[in-house]
């Protein structure tokens, strides 16, 4: 084999061990029905058991965990109650049967029963409850480059489609909802597929950025305490 061909093949092998910059395509949509940004900030968000397409049930806990981590990081002012904490409080309050019926009924009606929703909010010490829905997650590999019968580059691809509803447990209504579709691809010589957590984190950040934020102004603040020149200042 000519030397230049051998050199080219060796370089390709070396490059194949490194992942190129990935390509990310997203389509994020949301509708704000009645979410009060100040109440959302002050009264917190809990996570309900996500719903999922058949065959993706094992991903529900990871989905809720990734979203809780992302919103805690992106919106530090929010009080976030994770799925495990909500479920623990539900069980402690002997609401497990009502909770199961509410989630099961949702999958056929799209409605979270008002009284159970209110009680779950109460025991979780939050006003708002988030319900995630995983419609699709797929991973695949396309061969892109090979030399003398040996694979050098593959394109790793992943697609996700999900929704997120934020329910107001005080009123039994959907305060906000959003959806996101993500397609991610990158070229690599490694066997490792696109990680579920990576794609979920991207979707979480996209949707969190759609949620209205409270604009803090002096007219909204009853008392601001500060110090200037050793003097305590009170602004009413």
Q: What is the CATH number of the domain that holds 102?
A: 3.40.50.10610
E-state strands within 7-109: 23-32, 45-47, 51-52, 80-81
Give residue-wise pLDDT tens across range 126-150: 999 999 999 988 766 656 555 555 5
| Number of domains within the chain | 1
Q: What is the pLDDT of residue 197?
A: 78
**Phi and psi at residue 231, to the nearest 5°:** -100, 135
In this prediction, residue 217 carries a pLDDT of: 43
Does position 231 have pLDDT exceeding 80, yes or no? no
The model's pLDDT over 150-186, given as tens digits with 9 standing for 90+, comes to 555 676 677 889 999 999 999 999 999 999 998 877 6
| Cα–chain center distance at 80 | 13
Give the mean pLDDT of the chain.
Answer: 80
Distance of CA 54 to the CA centre of its chain: 20
Mean pLDDT check: name the lowest of 6-10, 36-40, 62-66: 6-10
- Is residue 22 within 8 Å of 157, Cβ to Cβ? no
- DSSP classification of residue 161: E
- Could you list the residue range(s) of the whole structural domain that residue 213 is in? 3-235
């Amino acid at each position: 084999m000519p030397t230049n061909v051998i050199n080219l093949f060796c370089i390709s092998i070396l490059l194949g061990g490194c992942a190129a910059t990935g390509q990310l395509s997203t389509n994020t949509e949301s509708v704000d029905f009645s979410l009060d940004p100040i109440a959302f900030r002050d009264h917190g968000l809990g996570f309900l058991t996500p719903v999922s397409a058949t065959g993706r049930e094992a991903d529900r806990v990871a989905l809720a965990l990734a979203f809780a981590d992302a919103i805690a990081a992106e919106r530090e002012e929010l009080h976030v109650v994770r799925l495990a904490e909500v479920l623990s409080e539900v069980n402690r309050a002997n609401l497990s049967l009502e909770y199961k019926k509410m989630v099961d009924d949702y999958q056929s009606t799209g409605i979270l029963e008002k009284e159970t929703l209110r009680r779950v909010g109460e025991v979780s010490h939050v006003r708002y409850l988030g319900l995630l829905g995983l419609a699709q997650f797929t991973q695949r590999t396309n061969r892109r480059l090979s030399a003398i019968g040996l694979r050098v580059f593959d394109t790793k691809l992943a697609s996700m489609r999900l929704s997120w509803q934020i329910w107001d447990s005080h009123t039994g209504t959907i305060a906000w909802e959003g959806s996101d579709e993500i397609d991610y691809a990158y070229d690599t010589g490694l066997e490792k597929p696109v990680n579920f957590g990576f794609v979920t984190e991207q979707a979480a950040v996209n949707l969190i950025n759609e949620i209205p934020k409270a604009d803090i102004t002096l007219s909204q603040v009853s008392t601001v305490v500060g110090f200037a020149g050793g003097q305590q200042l009170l602004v009413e």
